[in-house]
C-alpha cells in the first residue's frame, strides 16, 4: 500500500519535472582550471532552480538546459565553487580556482579551529552523515563512523543506555565513559536518575548539529581530569538569519525481536524429562506454551519533530519540540520522550557582544520490563499460562513454592514499573570582543545549570506469586532522585597574526559543582492493591533510606596555538584541576599537553609531492589526562550509622549500630599519559583521503578497588591508587568520493581500529588476580580476572576436554575421565587449573559507510563489525545441565538446548565450553530516501525515507546476539530489535 502510494508520487513528480523542462533553453561551455587552463573532466554543473545538472566531458565541455534568469553552479572537488547568472547567454565558459571550498571549522574544547590546523586526533560527524533513525540513544548516530570509537548497547530496550569506549578503557574501577560537552556545558558522569534509562535521552537526535570526538590526550587534555576517556562535544542546531524556516519530521517505527528463545519446546521437553528425570513425569502438564514468544511482541512507535528557526540582522533563533513514543519488543516495556530545545543568539554593540542562550528540557516516561525473560526461558513449557481456578494469583498458573520460577505472563501483566525523569540544561553564553582595547582579544563566559529529577515506581500486587508464595503480600518501591549541577566557565582568547604566522592564546577558569540526593522507599505487605504504588499507608512494613552526595571541580586552564607560515602547527595546553574527591594534599593535579603538525605540501621543496598528494600532514601529540570518577569522600575517615534492620540486641533493646568506614587518605588522580602519531593524506584533489594514527595510552596510579593487607584498613578492599594499564592501537580511516556527478554520486568511507589492552602492573600493597565478571547461577561465581600481563576482564575458565566425536567430556561420563585439562598436573581439578583465555573486547573494530545518490534518490548504509571479541554464554551455562530440570521439588525447569549436546549433569559454570568467539559483521543501518524538492509552486520541500536497522548480522556466536555490552557476559538480555522506519521530512 505504502509502496503503491510512493510510486504514484514518483510518477507525479517525474511528470512535473518534464513539464518544467519545456520552458528552458540550452546553455553550453567549457570548464577549465584557472591557473593551468587545463580542462576539468567530470566537474559538476548544477541548475540551481531545478536541482538538475550534468558533468563535463573529456574536453571539459557541458550542455544544460536552463532558464534565462536562472543560475548555474560549477563545482569540482578541490576547487572553489562558482555560481554564474545565465542572463540571456547560451555559452558560458568558467575557470575554477583551486583551493578548499571553505575553511572547514572544527569544534575543539573551548573554541574551534580550522580543520587544516588540527594537531590532535579529532573527528567530527555532521548531522548529514548521522545514522538515520537511531532510536536507542543519541550516541547511536555515530555508531560505526569513527575509527576506534565503539558504541556499546547492552540490549534492545527502547531508549536504553549505551556505553562508549574511545580507544579502549583506561580504567578498571573509575569510569571509562568519555566526557560529554553539550553546547559548552560539560555533563556529569554516571547513569541516569531514578526512572530513566539513559542520561543522554534529554537530547533529541533531530536537534544535534554535529558530534565531535576528541580522541587523543593532546586534544582532550584541555579538559584535564575529565578527559582520560576522550571527549564527545555535542553541538545543537542554531538558527540562521532570514525568514522563518519550519521543518517537520515524522516517523513511524515497527520492530521485532531478533532471534528465538533458546529452550526446548514442549515435546522435546517431555522427551527429555522422560529420559533424565523419569521419577518426576507426573509434574508434566498437557499444554504447549512458548513462554519466550508469549513475552514478546511486534513493537511500534512514532516520532514527531517540529522546529522553527530564523532571525534578523543581529539575532537568530531556533526552537523545536520533539515527541517520541517507542514500544519495546518485550511486552510491557516502552519509552516516551517529550523534548524542547531553544537557542537564541543576540548580537549587540556593533556585534562586539554576542549573547547566546540555550535551553534544553525533556521529560521521559518509561515503562520498564520486569525481567520476564529469565522466567520465560525456565518455566515448564508443558504448563498453561492461565489457571482460572487459581484466584489467589489472579487466574495465572503459578507454583506455590518459594524457589519456583514465576509465570512470565503474570509478571508482564501484573507488575508495573514506571519511571518519570526530567532533565533541563540551560546555558547563557556571553562573548565580548575587546578589539578596540587590545586587537584580537575576546572574552567569554558561560553560565550553566543542569537539573535532573526522577522518580521510579514499582508495584507488585498481592496477586503476584513473588511474595505470596513466600507468605508475603505485595510490595512497592518508590525511588526519588534529584541531581543538580552549576557551571561557570570564563576565558580570554587572544589572537594575533605576524606576517604569515598566527598565534592564539587562551586562558580560563572553570567551576562546576554537583549535588546528588534521593530517597528510596520500600513498602511490603499491602492491605490492598487498589492504590498501586501510590499510597504508603497500606503497607504494613516500610523501609526508607536516603543519600546526599556532593562534589566539586575547579580548574584553571590555558592553551597556545601557533601556526608558522601555514607549515608548522603547534598546540600546547595546561590545565590545573581541583577535585573535592581527594584530600587537601592531593586535591590539585596538573595536566599538560603538546602537539605539533607539519603540512608538508606547504614546503617549497614539496612541489613534486603535490603531484601525488593533495593533502599531507604529519601530526604528533602528547598529553596527560586524569580520572577522578570514583565514589565521594573516599579519603575521609567517616563513621556511618546502620539502618533499623541492622540493629543489635543489648538486653531488651535494639541498638542502632555505628561503623568505622574504610578510607584511603592518600587517594589521588589516576593519570593517563598518551602519545599519538598521525598522518592525514589525500589524493586526487582529496577525492581519496584518509588518516592513519598510532597511539599508546598508559594509565598510572590506577584507581582500583583491591584487597589491602588485612589490618591496614577497616575493610578487606579499599579503592586506592595502584598499578598501571596500557592501551596501544592503530587506526586507519579512508574516505573516497567514487563517483561525483550531478545526478549520480557514490561516497564510501571505511575505518578500522586495532586496540590492545593490558594490565601492566598491580604493585605496592595490592594483590594481583582479582576475580571479576559475576554471572547468573550460584552466588559469587566469577568468570573473569584482572591479572598483570592480561587484558582487563580476561576470561578465566577451565579448559574443557572433548571426546573423539567432538562432544565435551561430561560429568555423566566415567568417573575417572577428567572433564577439564589438569593444567598443573597435580592430579586434581581445582581452581589452580583455571586459565586465562580470551577477552570481551574485540581486537579489531571496523565500520564501512556508503552513500549512493541517483537523481533524487539517496541510499545510505552502515556496516559495522568486530573481530576477536568473546562472549561467555551465561544464558546457556546457567541452564545448560540436565539436573537443572528436576533439582528442585514440586516443579520442573526448562533447560538450555546445549544440555542435550553436552550431557552435563550438574552446572559447569567454569567450562570454556561456554566461551565463544563472537566476531560479527552487522548491517546496522540502511536508509533509502527520495527528495521531492519543492512541491509544485508551494514553498514546501518534501523528503520521504525508509530506514531499516539491524537488518543482518553475520556471526558464529550461538546465543541471541554477539554484542553484549561492555563485559562480554550474555545473560537473558532484552533482545535487540530489527526496526523499520518510514519517515517524511517537510521544510518550509
Partner 1 sequence: MNTLSKLIFLLLLMSAAACTDLDLVPQDRADPNTILSDEENYEPFLARLYAGLAITGQLGPGCDPCAPDISSIDEGFGNYLRQFFQLQEFPTETSVIGWDDGSIRDLHEQSWTSNNEFVRAMYYRIFFQVSQANEFLRETTQDKLTERGIRESFWSVVDGFRAEARFLRALSYWHAIDFFGDVIFYTEEDEIGSEPPVERSRADVFQFIVDELAAIESIIPAPSAQEYGRVDKAAVWMLQAKLFQNAQVYVGRDLNAEAITALEKVLDTENYQLEETYQNLFLTDNNLSAEMIWTIPFDGDNTQGFGGMTYLTHAPVGGAMDPADFGINGGWGGIRTTPEMVDLFPGGANSADSRALFFTEGQNLEIGEDVDIFENGYGLPKFRNVSSEGVPGVDGRYADTDFPVFRLGDAYLMYAESVVRGGGGSRDRAVQLVNALLERAYGSSAQNITDADLTLPFILEERGRELYFECHRRTDRIRFGEFSNNGVWSWKGGTPAGSTTEAFRDLYPIPASELLANPNLSQNTGY
- The CA-atom distances, in angstroms, between 630 and each of 121, 486, 517, 666, 757 are 27, 20, 17, 14, 21
Gap between the Cα atoms of 672 and 623, Å rounded: 8
Element (H, E) at 413: helix 408-414
Residue 899 as a binder of partner 1 (CB under 8 A): the answer is no
Closer Cβ to partner 1, 119 or 873, answer by number: 873
Instruction: Give the per-residue contact string, 382-421, with partner 1 (x = CB under 8 A; - = no).
Output: -------------------xxx------------------
CB under 8 A: which stretch of 135-143, 173-181, 262-270, 699-707 binds partner 1?
A: 699-707
* E strands present in 349-460: 353-367, 416-433, 441-460
Of 59, 260, 293, 716, the residue at the interface with partner 1 (CB under 8 A) is 716
Gap between the Cα atoms of 642 and 607, Å rounded: 76
Closer Cβ to partner 1, 349 or 605, answer by number: 349
Residues 539-578 touching partner 1, rule: CB under 8 A, are 543, 545-552, 554, 578
Residue 744 as a binder of partner 1 (CB under 8 A): the answer is no
Asked if 460 and 476 touch (Cβ cutoff 8 Å), the reply is yes
Closer Cβ to partner 1, 213 or 770, answer by number: 770
Q: Which of 904, 844, 879 is nearest to 970 (CA)?
A: 879
Closer Cβ to partner 1, 104 or 643, answer by number: 643
Closer Cβ to partner 1, 135 or 469, answer by number: 469
CB under 8 A: which stretch of 261-269, 346-354, 405-413, 671-679 binds partner 1?
A: 346-354
Kind of pairing between the strands at 94-96 and 61-66: unpaired
Closer Cβ to partner 1, 129 or 761, answer by number: 761
Computed over its alpha carbons, how large is the radius of gyration of the chain? 31
Closer Cβ to partner 1, 143 or 877, answer by number: 877
798 DSSP 8-state letter: B
Least distance from partner 1 to the Cβ atom of residue 810, Å: 13
Residues whose CB is less than 8 angstroms from the CB of residue 750 and which lie 6 or more positions away in sequence, other chains included: 733, 734, 846, 847, 848, 849
Residue 646 as a binder of partner 1 (CB under 8 A): the answer is yes
Least distance from partner 1 to the Cβ atom of residue 911, Å: 12
- The CA-atom distances, in angstroms, between 37 and each of 33, 42, 91, 521, 557 are 5, 15, 18, 79, 50
Element (H, E) at 617: strand 613-627
Cell numbers given for 266: 514442549
CA torsion through residues 48, 49, 52, 56, sign: negative
Cell numbers given for 45: 554543473
In terms of C-beta density within 10 A (0-12 exposed, 13-18 middle, 19 or more buried), how is residue 57 classed?
Answer: middle
CB under 8 A: which stretch of 25-33, 686-694, 710-718, 838-846 binds partner 1?
A: 710-718
Least distance from partner 1 to the Cβ atom of residue 553, Å: 8
Gap between the Cα atoms of 857 and 232, Å rounded: 32
Residue 665 as a binder of partner 1 (CB under 8 A): the answer is yes
Instruction: Give the per-residue contact string, 770-789, with partner 1 (x = CB under 8 A; - = no).
Output: x------xxxxxx-------
Residue 705 as a binder of partner 1 (CB under 8 A): the answer is yes
Neighbours of 365 (CB within 10 A): 16
Neighbours of 739 (CB within 10 A): 16
Asked if 536 and 205 touch (Cβ cutoff 8 Å), the reply is no
Closer Cβ to partner 1, 580 or 987, answer by number: 580
Helix ranges (H only) for 784-940 are: 874-877, 898-902
Least distance from partner 1 to the Cβ atom of residue 145, Å: 35
Least distance from partner 1 to the Cβ atom of residue 702, Å: 16
Gap between the Cα atoms of 163 and 967, Å rounded: 11
Closer Cβ to partner 1, 82 or 522, answer by number: 522
Neighbours of 631 (CB within 10 A): 14
Closer Cβ to partner 1, 609 or 714, answer by number: 714
Residues 120-179 touching partner 1, rule: CB under 8 A, are none
Closer Cβ to partner 1, 496 or 647, answer by number: 647
Residues 748-767 touching partner 1, rule: CB under 8 A, are 765-767
Residue 607 as a binder of partner 1 (CB under 8 A): the answer is no
Gap between the Cα atoms of 737 and 614, Å rounded: 14
Residue 657 as a binder of partner 1 (CB under 8 A): the answer is yes
Least distance from partner 1 to the Cβ atom of residue 276, Å: 11
Least distance from partner 1 to the Cβ atom of residue 476, Å: 13
Of 416, 522, 696, 987, the residue at the interface with partner 1 (CB under 8 A) is 522
Residues 805-864 touching partner 1, rule: CB under 8 A, are 828, 830-832
Using DSSP's 3-state secondary structure scheme, residue 273 falls into helix
Gap between the Cα atoms of 332 and 416, Å rounded: 8
Of 248, 323, 449, 633, the residue at the interface with partner 1 (CB under 8 A) is 633
Least distance from partner 1 to the Cβ atom of residue 12, Å: 58
750 pairs with which residues across the strands? 734, 848
Least distance from partner 1 to the Cβ atom of residue 411, Å: 18
Q: How far is CA 389 from the centre of its chain?
A: 48
Residues 83-122 touching partner 1, rule: CB under 8 A, are none
Cell numbers given for 562: 601557533
- The CA-atom distances, in angstroms, between 969 and each of 319, 743, 921 are 43, 48, 19
Residues 351-370 touching partner 1, rule: CB under 8 A, are 352
Asked if 833 and 726 touch (Cβ cutoff 8 Å), the reply is no
Using DSSP's 3-state secondary structure scheme, residue 52 falls into coil
Residues 906-965 touching partner 1, rule: CB under 8 A, are 906-907, 909
Residues 28-67 touching partner 1, rule: CB under 8 A, are none
Closer Cβ to partner 1, 85 or 654, answer by number: 654
Of 104, 267, 643, 803, the residue at the interface with partner 1 (CB under 8 A) is 643
Least distance from partner 1 to the Cβ atom of residue 212, Å: 27
Gap between the Cα atoms of 75 and 77, Å rounded: 7
Q: 765-779 burial string, b = 16+ CB within 10 Å, else e?
A: ebebebbbbbbbeee
Residues 443-502 touching partner 1, rule: CB under 8 A, are 443, 445, 469-472, 488, 490
Residues 263-292 touching partner 1, rule: CB under 8 A, are none
- The CA-atom distances, in angstroms, between 688 and each of 615, 680, 750 are 10, 11, 11
Give the interface size with partner 1 as a residue count (CB under 8 A).
Answer: 106
CB under 8 A: which stretch of 74-82, 115-123, 618-626, 880-888 binds partner 1?
A: 880-888
Of 67, 247, 367, 580, the residue at the interface with partner 1 (CB under 8 A) is 580
Of 386, 432, 857, 901, the residue at the interface with partner 1 (CB under 8 A) is 432
Least distance from partner 1 to the Cβ atom of residue 762, Å: 9
Of 386, 449, 494, 509, the residue at the interface with partner 1 (CB under 8 A) is 509
Closer Cβ to partner 1, 76 or 820, answer by number: 820
* E strands present in 97-192: 105-108, 111-114, 122-126, 149-153, 162-166, 179-182, 185-186
Amino acid at each position: 500500500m505504502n509502496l503503491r502510494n510512493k510510486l504514484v508520487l514518483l510518477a507525479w513528480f517525474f511528470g512535473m519535472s518534464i513539464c518544467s523542462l519545456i520552458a528552458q533553453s540550452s546553455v553550453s561551455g567549457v570548464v577549465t582550471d584557472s591557473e593551468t587552463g587545463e580542462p576539468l573532466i567530470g566537474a559538476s554543473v548544477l541548475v540551481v532552480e531545478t536541482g538538475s545538472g550534468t558533468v563535463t566531458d573529456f574536453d571539459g565541455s557541458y550542455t544544460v538546459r536552463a532558464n534565462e534568469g536562472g543560475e548555474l553552479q560549477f563545482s569540482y572537488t578541490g576547487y572553489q565553487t562558482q555560481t554564474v547568472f545565465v542572463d540571456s547567454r547560451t555559452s558560458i565558459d568558467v575557470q575554477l580556482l583551486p583551493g578548499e571550498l571553505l575553511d572547514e571549522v572544527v569544534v575543539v574544547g573551548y573554541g574551534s579551529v580550522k580543520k587544516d590546523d588540527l594537531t590532535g586526533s579529532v573527528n567530527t560527524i555532521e548531522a548529514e552523515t548521522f545514522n538515520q533513525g537511531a532510536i536507542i540513544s543519541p550516541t547511536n548516530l555515530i555508531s560505526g563512523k569513527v575509527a576506534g570509537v565503539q558504541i556499546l548497547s547492552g540490549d534492545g530496550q527502547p531508549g536504553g543506555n549505551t556505553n562508549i569506549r574511545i580507544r579502549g578503557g583506561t580504567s578498571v574501577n573509575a569510569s571509562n565513559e568519555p566526557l560529554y560537552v553539550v553546547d559548552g556545558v560539560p555533563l556529569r558522569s554516571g547513569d541516569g536518575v531514578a526512572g530513566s534509562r539513559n542520561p543522554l535521552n534529554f537530547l533529541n537526535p533531530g536537534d544535534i548539529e554535529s558530534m565531535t570526538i576528541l580522541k587523543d590526550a593532546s586534544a582532550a587534555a584541555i579538559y584535564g581530569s575529565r578527559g582520560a576517556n576522550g571527549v564527545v562535544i555535542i553541538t545543537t542546531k542554531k538558527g540562521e538569519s532570514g525568514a522563518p524556516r519550519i521543518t517537520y519530521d515524522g516517523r513511524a517505527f515497527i520492530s521485532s525481536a531478533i532471534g528465538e528463545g533458546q529452550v526446548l519446546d514442549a515435546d522435546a521437553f517431555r522427551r527429555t524429562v522422560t529420559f533424565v528425570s523419569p521419577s518426576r513425569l507426573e509434574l508434566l502438564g498437557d499444554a504447549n506454551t512458548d513462554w519466550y514468544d508469549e513475552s514478546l511482541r511486534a513493537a511500534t512507535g512514532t516520532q514527531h519533530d517540529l522546529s522553527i528557526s530564523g532571525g534578523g540582522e543581529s539575532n537568530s533563533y531556533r526552537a523545536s519540540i520533539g515527541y517520541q513514543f517507542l514500544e519495546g519488543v518485550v511486552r510491557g516495556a516502552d519509552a516516551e520522550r517529550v523534548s524542547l530545545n531553544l537557542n537564541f543568539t543576540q548580537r549587540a554593540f556593533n556585534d562586539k557582544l554576542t549573547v547566546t542562550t540555550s535551553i534544553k528540557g525533556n521529560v521521559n516516561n518509561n515503562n520498564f520490563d520486569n525481567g520476564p525473560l529469565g522466567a520465560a526461558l525456565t518455566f515448564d513449557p508443558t504448563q498453561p499460562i492461565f489457571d482460572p481456578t487459581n484466584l489467589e494469583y489472579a487466574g495465572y498458573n503459578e507454583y506455590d513454592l518459594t524457589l519456583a520460577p514465576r509465570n512470565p505472563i503474570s509478571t508482564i501483566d501484573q507488575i508495573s514499573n514506571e519511571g518519570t525523569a526530567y532533565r533541563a540544561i540551560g546555558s547563557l553564553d556571553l562573548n565580548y570582543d575587546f578589539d578596540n582595547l587590545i586587537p584580537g582579544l575576546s572574552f567569554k563566559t558561560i553560565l550553566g545549570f543542569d537539573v535532573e529529577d526522577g522518580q521510579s515506581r514499582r508495584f507488585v500486587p498481592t496477586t503476584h506469586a513473588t511474595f505470596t508464595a513466600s507468605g508475603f503480600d505485595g510490595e512497592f518501591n518508590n525511588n526519588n532522585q534529584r541531581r543538580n549541577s552549576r557551571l561557570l566557565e570564563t576565558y580570554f582568547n587572544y589572537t594575533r597574526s605576524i606576517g604569515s604566522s598566527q598565534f592564539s592564546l587562551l586562558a580560563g577558569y572553570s567551576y562546576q559543582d554537583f549535588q546528588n540526593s534521593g530517597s528510596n522507599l520500600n513498602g511490603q505487605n499491602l492491605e490492598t492493591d487498589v492504590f498501586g504504588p501510590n499510597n504508603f499507608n497500606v503497607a504494613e512494613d516500610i523501609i526508607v533510606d536516603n543519600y546526599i552526595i556532593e562534589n566539586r571541580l575547579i580548574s584553571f586552564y590555558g592553551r597556545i596555538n601557533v601556526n608558522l607560515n601555514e607549515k608548522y602547527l603547534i598546540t600546547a595546553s595546561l590545565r590545573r584541576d581541583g577535585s573535592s574527591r581527594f584530600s587537601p594534599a592531593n586535591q590539585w593535579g596538573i595536566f599538560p599537553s603538546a602537539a605539533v603538525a607539519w603540512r608538508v605540501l606547504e614546503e617549497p621543496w614539496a612541489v613534486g609531492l603535490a603531484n601525488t598528494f593533495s593533502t599531507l600532514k604529519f601530526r604528533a601529540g602528547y598529553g596527560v589526562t586524569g580520572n577522578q570518577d570514583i565514589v565521594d569522600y573516599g579519603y575521609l575517615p567517616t563513621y556511618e550509622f546502620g539502618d533499623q534492620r541492622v540493629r543489635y540486641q543489648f538486653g531488651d533493646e535494639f541498638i542502632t549500630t555505628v561503623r568505622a568506614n574504610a578510607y584511603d587518605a592518600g587517594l589521588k588522580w589516576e593519570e593517563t599519559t598518551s602519545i599519538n602519531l598521525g598522518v592525514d593524506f589525500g589524493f586526487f584533489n582529496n577525492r581519496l583521503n584518509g588518516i592513519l594514527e598510532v597511539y599508546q595510552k598508559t594509565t598510572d596510579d590506577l584507581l582500583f578497588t583491591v584487597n589491602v593487607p588485612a589490618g591496614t584498613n577497616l575493610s578487606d578492599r579499599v579503592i586506592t591508587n595502584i598499578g598501571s594499564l596500557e592501551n596501544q592501537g592503530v587506526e586507519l580511516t579512508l574516505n573516497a568520493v567514487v563517483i561525483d556527478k550531478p545526478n549520480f554520486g557514490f561516497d564510501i568511507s571505511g575505518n578500522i581500529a586495532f586496540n590492545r589492552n593490558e594490565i601492566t602492573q598491580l604493585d605496592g600493597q595490592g594483590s594481583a588476580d582479582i576475580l571479576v565478571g559475576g554471572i547468573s547461577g550460584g552466588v559469587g561465581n566469577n568468570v573473569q580476572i584482572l591479572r598483570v600481563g592480561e587484558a582487563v576482564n580476561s576470561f578465566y575458565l577451565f579448559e574443557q576436554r572433548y571426546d573423539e566425536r567432538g562432544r565435551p567430556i561430561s560429568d555423566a561420563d566415567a568417573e575417572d575421565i577428567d572433564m577439564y585439562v589438569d593444567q598443573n598436573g597435580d592430579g586434581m581439578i581445582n581452581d589452580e587449573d583455571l586459565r586465562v583465555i580470551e577477552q570481551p573486547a574485540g581486537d579489531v573494530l571496523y565500520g564501512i559507510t556508503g552513500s549512493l545518490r541517483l537523481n533524487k534518490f539517496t541510499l545510505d548504509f552502515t556496516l559495522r563489525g568486530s573481530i576477536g571479541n568473546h562472549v561467555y554464554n551465561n544464558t546457556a551455562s546457567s541452564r545448560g545441565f540436565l539436573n537443572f530440570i528436576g533439582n528442585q521439588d514440586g516443579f520442573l525447569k526448562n533447560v538450555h538446548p546445549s544440555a542435550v549436546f553436552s550431557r552435563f549433569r550438574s552446572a559447569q559454570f567454569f567450562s570454556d565450553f561456554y566461551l565463544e568467539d563472537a566476531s560479527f559483521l552487522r548491517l546496522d543501518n540502511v536508509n533509502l530516501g527520495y527528495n521531492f524538492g519543492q512541491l509544485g509552486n508551494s514553498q514546501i520541500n518534501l523528503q520521504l525515507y525508509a530506514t531499516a536497522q539491524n537488518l543482518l548480522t553475520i556471526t558464529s556466536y550461538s546465543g541471541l546476539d554477539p554484542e553484549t555490552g561492555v563485559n562480554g557476559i550474555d545473560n537473558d538480555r532484552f533482545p535487540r530489535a530489527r526496526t523499520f522506519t518510514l519517515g517524511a521530512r517537510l521544510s518550509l
